[in-house]
C-alpha cells in the first residue's frame, strides 16, 4: 500500500460496513439483505454492481498499470468498450481494473457472477475475467475464467465465485496476458452481479402437546421474570494519551545485542549495524514524496540519523516545500537500489516501530526492473501490536497479491522485534521474532516464481498518513517526537551455502 517514486503504487479505495443487515454494494448501487430470512435474491442477477459499466463517462472508475493506456471505442452489439493497449516496446500483461472494488462487503457463502465481452487485434492472445476476494489485506481467494482469442471476434467470459468470508471486498478485472507491443484488448459490457445468498435453516417449532384429562393443573404460578435485556458494556470513557516525551535529537540506545549466528545452512552476505550511515550500502533519498501519503522525505540530519548504534527515521510535523509542493510533514527513506540486490535468501531487520497514530513504517523489497513487491513488514501507528506481511505480483496494484495481519503474542511493536522473510525458489516465509507467521508457495500463487525471478533491493521508509492508515481508520494525528521514530538496530541478508 505504498510507495515512493516510481516504485510506489496508487492504493485502491476500499470501504466496508458492519451490521446485522449486510450491505452488498457496487460503486453506484446498494442492496440490503436480511440474512435471517433470505435464501435467494430475487432479481439480483439483473443488478449490475459495476460502476460505469457502459463507459458513458469515459474511463472514470477504471485504471491500468503504467505502460498501458485506456480509451473508449465502439464495443459489442452497439455498446461502448474500453480499449486496453500496450504502449511499451515489449509484451506486457495488462489488466483493466476497477478503481474501487466493485463489491464492498461480501456475505460468506454468497455467489457472485462476473462477465464481459472481449476481443483483440492480436489473434492468439489469452485473456481472462477475474474476481479476487480480500478481507482488508488478507487474500481470501479468487476465480478466473480464461479465453484463448484465436480470432478478432467478440467472446464472452463468465466466472462464478462464492465468497469465503463476511465483510470482504471483491476486486473485478479483465486481464490480457503478454499483450504484444502496440496491440489491444477491447472490453465491453462488464458486469458483476449477486446470484444467491447462503441457505439459512428454517426455524424448528416445538410441537404443541395434546389436551389431557388428567388432574387439573395446579393453580397458575407466575414465572420468574425474564432477566432484563443486557447491553454491551459501555465503551470506556475516552482517555488522553500520555504526553509525548520531551523532544530529543537522539534515539534511545538499543538493547545490547550480540551478533546472532546465521540461520542453519545460511551465510551472512550483507550486514549493517548502523554505527554510521554507509553511503556505499545505502541511498538516502532527498526531497521526494509519494502521492498516497502526507510527508516529504529528506536526507537532513533531523529526519535521518544514527545514534547509539541505531538508525532513526524520524517524522516531524513541519511545513516543508520542494518546488511547488508543500507538505506538513517530513520523514526519511533509504534503499539499496544500484548498490545491493539479492534474488534469494533471508532478509532480516531488528527494529522499534513508531506508535503515533498514522505513522506508516515499512521494510520491503522490490525487483530491480520488474514490478514484484515483497513487504516484509508494514505497520500503522495506533495498532500497537500488529504488523502486516504482503506479496504483490505488481506494485501498481493491478494484479494479484496475498497478505497477512500478524498480532504479537505479547508486548507491542514499540519494543525491539525482528522481522524477516525467507525467499527461495517455490516459496516465501515470513517471520516475526523467529515465529513463522505467513507462508506462500508456488502451488498457492502460480505467479510467485515468475514475478520474483530476479534480484531484489531493500527499502526502509517511514511514511506519514495516507492510504494505509486511512484504510485502518487511523489517519495521522501529528508527529510527537519520540513517538514518531522508526528505529532500526540492524539489517542483514543471509544466503544458502
Lowest mean pLDDT, pick from 216-220, 310-314, 476-480:
216-220
Per-residue buried b or exposed e for 1-34, using 16+ beta carbons within 10 Å of the residue's own CB: bbbbeebbbbbbebebeeeeebebbbbeeeeebe
Second-level CATH architecture of 266-496: Sandwich (2.60)
Q: Give phi and psi for 449, each to the nearest 5.
A: -70, -35
Q: According to the model, what pLDDT value does residue 304 have?
A: 98
Q: Which DSSP letter does residue 342 get?
A: B
For cell 494484479, name the residue.
399
Mean pLDDT for all residues in the chain: 82
CATH 2.20.25.190 given to domain 16-196:
no
371, 7, 366, 358 alpha-carbon torsion, rounded to 10°? -120
Domain coordinates in residue numbering, the chain: 16-196, 266-496
Residue 473 gets the label, from left (phi > 0), alpha (psi -120 to 50) or beta, of: left
Residue 89 gets the label, from left (phi > 0), alpha (psi -120 to 50) or beta, of: alpha
> If we measure between CA atoms, which residue out of 428, 323, 436, 295 comes closest to residue 372?
428
CA distance 161 to 170: 10
- What percentage of residues in the chain have a pLDDT greater than 90? 62
Q: How many separate helices (H) and strands (E) can be counted in the chain?
A: 2, 31
Residue 213 has pLDDT above 80, yes or no: no
pLDDT band for position 324 (cuts 50, 70, 90): very high
- Tell whether pTM > 0.75: no
Q: What one-character-per-residue DSSP string does 248-300 give?
A: -SSPPPPPP---PPPPTTEEEEEEE--SS--TTT-EE--SEE-TTSSEEE--S
pLDDT tens sequence across 115-174: 999 999 999 998 999 998 887 667 788 888 889 899 999 999 999 999 998 988 999 999
**124: its cell numbers:** 492468439
pLDDT tens sequence across 263-282: 788 999 999 999 999 999 99
* Largest distance between two CA atoms of the chain: 99
pLDDT band for position 36 (cuts 50, 70, 90): very low
What distance lies between CA 148 and its chain's CA centroid? 30
Q: According to the model, what pLDDT value does residue 45 have?
A: 54
pLDDT band for position 12 (cuts 50, 70, 90): very low
Mean pLDDT of 75-89: 95
Q: Which DSSP letter does residue 393 get?
A: S
For cell 436480511, name the residue.
34
Alpha-helix residue ranges (DSSP H) falling in 58-147? none
Q: According to the model, what pLDDT value does residue 497 have?
A: 83
Mean pLDDT of 201-225: 44
pLDDT tens sequence across 276-309: 999 999 999 999 999 889 999 999 999 999 999 9
Amino acid at each position: 500500500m505504498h510507495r515512493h517514486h516510481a516504485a510506489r503504487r496508487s492504493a485502491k479505495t476500499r470501504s466496508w460496513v458492519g451490521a446485522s443487515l449486510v450491505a452488498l454494494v457496487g460503486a453506484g448501487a446498494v442492496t440490503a439483505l436480511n440474512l435471517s430470512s433470505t435464501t435467494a435474491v430475487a432479481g439480483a442477477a439483473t443488478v449490475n454492481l459495476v460502476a460505469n459499466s457502459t463507459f458513458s463517462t469515459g474511463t472514470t472508475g477504471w485504471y491500468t498499470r503504467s505502460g498501458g493506456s485506456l480509451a473508449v471505442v465502439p464495443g459489442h452489439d452497439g455498446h461502448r468498450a474500453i480499449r486496453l493497449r500496450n504502449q511499451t516496446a515489449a509484451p506486457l500483461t495488462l489488466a483493466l481494473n476497477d478503481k474501487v472494488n466493485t463489491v464492498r462487503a461480501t456475505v460468506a457463502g454468497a455467489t457472485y457472477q462476473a462477465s464481459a465481452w472481449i476481443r483483440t487485434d492480436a489473434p492468439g492472445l489469452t485473456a481472462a475475467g477475474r474476481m479476487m476476494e480480500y478481507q482488508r489485506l488478507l487474500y481470501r481467494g479468487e476465480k478466473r475464467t480464461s479465453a484463448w482469442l484465436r480470432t478478432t471476434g467478440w467472446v464472452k467470459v463468465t466466472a462464478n465465485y462464492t465468497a469465503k468470508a463476511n465483510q470482504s471486498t471483491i476486486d473485478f478485472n479483465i486481464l490480457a496476458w503478454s499483450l504484444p507491443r502496440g496491440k489491444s484488448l477491447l472490453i465491453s459490457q462488464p458486469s458483476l452481479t449477486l446470484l444467491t445468498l447462503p441457505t439459512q435453516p428454517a426455524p424448528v417449532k416445538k410441537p404443541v402437546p395434546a389436551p389431557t384429562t388428567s388432574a387439573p393443573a395446579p393453580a397458575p404460578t407466575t414465572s420468574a421474570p425474564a432477566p432484563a435485556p443486557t447491553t454491551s458494556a459501555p465503551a470506556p470513557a475516552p482517555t488522553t494519551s500520555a504526553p509525548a516525551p520531551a523532544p530529543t535529537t537522539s534515539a534511545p540506545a538499543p538493547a545490547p545485542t550480540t551478533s546472532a549466528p546465521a540461520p542453519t545452512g545460511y551465510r551472512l552476505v550483507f550486514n549493517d549495524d548502523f554505527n554510521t550511515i554507509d553511503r556505499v550500502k545505502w541511498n538516502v533519498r532527498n526531497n521526494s514524496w509519494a502521492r498516497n501519503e502526507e510527508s516529504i522525505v529528506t536526507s537532513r540530519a533531523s529526519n535521518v540519523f544514527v545514534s547509539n548504534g541505531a538508525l532513526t527515521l524520524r517524522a516531524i510535523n513541519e511545513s516543508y516545500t520542494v518546488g511547488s509542493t508543500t507538505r506538513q510533514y517530513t520523514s526519511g527513506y533509504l534503499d539499496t537500489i544500484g548498490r545491493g540486490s539479492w534474488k534469494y535468501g533471508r532478509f532480516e531487520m531488528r527494529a522499534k516501530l513508531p506508535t503515533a497514530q498514522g505513522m506508516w513504517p515499512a521494510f520491503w523489497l522490490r525487483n530491480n526492473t520488474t514490478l514484484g513487491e515483497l513487504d516484509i513488514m508494514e505497520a500503522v501507528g495506533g495498532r500497537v501490536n500488529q504488523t502486516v506481511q504482503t506479496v504483490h505480483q505488481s506494485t501498481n496494484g493491478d494484479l494479484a497479491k496475498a497478505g497477512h495481519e500478524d498480532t504479537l503474542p505479547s508486548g507491542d511493536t514499540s519494543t525491539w522485534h525482528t522481522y524477516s522473510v525467507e525467499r527461495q525458489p517455490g516459496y516465501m516465509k515470513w517471520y516475526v521474532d523467529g515465529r513463522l507467521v505467513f507462508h506462500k508457495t508456488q502451488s498457492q500463487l502460480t505467479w510467485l516464481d515468475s514475478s520474483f525471478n530476479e534480484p531484489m533491493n531493500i527499502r526502509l521508509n517511514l511514511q506519514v498518513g495516507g492510504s494505509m492508515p486511512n484504510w485502518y481508520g487511523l489517519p495521522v494525528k501529528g508527529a510527537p517526537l519520540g513517538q514518531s521514530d522508526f528505529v532500526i538496530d540492524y539489517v542483514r541478508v543471509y544466503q544458502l551455502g
